Amino acid sequence: MGSYVDVKDGDFQAQVLDSDLPVLVDFWAPWCGPCRAIAPHVEALAGEYEGRVTVAKVNVDQNQQYATQYGVRGIPALLVFKGGQLVNQINGLPPGNPMKGLRDLVDSALA
């Protein structure tokens, strides 16, 4: 398992938008079953892409500012930022092979 950063509204700008690396942000909540289902895949991806991509998790129950700003209406929502801009996103568990779906999502920011 890799390591990810817990991001709060107060440090979203510094941790995500100002990051030198692309950032995969997982908007989630503890009560969300699909969020718990995708969590091991997101954590594994953090290890796989360590040093190339930052993986961040935002608990939407406690931090709603950026979820609202980026139109997150359902969770899990996985958004990829590069150079402070939203470049790709998916909602829910990627269909088929979740790891392949997550890799495709992140690879789009590395191309």
Mind listing the pLDDT tens digit of every residue in the chain (111 residues)? Answer: 568 899 999 999 999 999 999 999 999 999 999 999 999 999 999 999 999 999 999 999 999 999 999 999 999 999 999 999 999 999 988 888 889 999 999 998 897
Fold of 5-110: Glutaredoxin (3.40.30)
Distance CA 50, CA 75 (A): 24
Burial of 22 (0-12, 13-18, 19+ CB in 10 A): buried
Residues that are catalytic: 32, 35
Per-residue confidence (pLDDT) for residue 2, from 0 to 100: 61
Per-residue confidence (pLDDT) for residue 94, from 0 to 100: 82
Per-residue confidence (pLDDT) for residue 28, from 0 to 100: 97
Distance CA 67, CA 59 (A): 9
Report percent pLDDT > 90 for the chain.
86
Assigned token pair, 109: 């920011």
Distance CA 43, CA 57 (A): 10
Domain boundaries, the chain: 5-110
Per-residue confidence (pLDDT) for residue 96, from 0 to 100: 85
pTM of the model: 0.94
- The values of phi and psi at residue 88, to 5°, are -165, 155
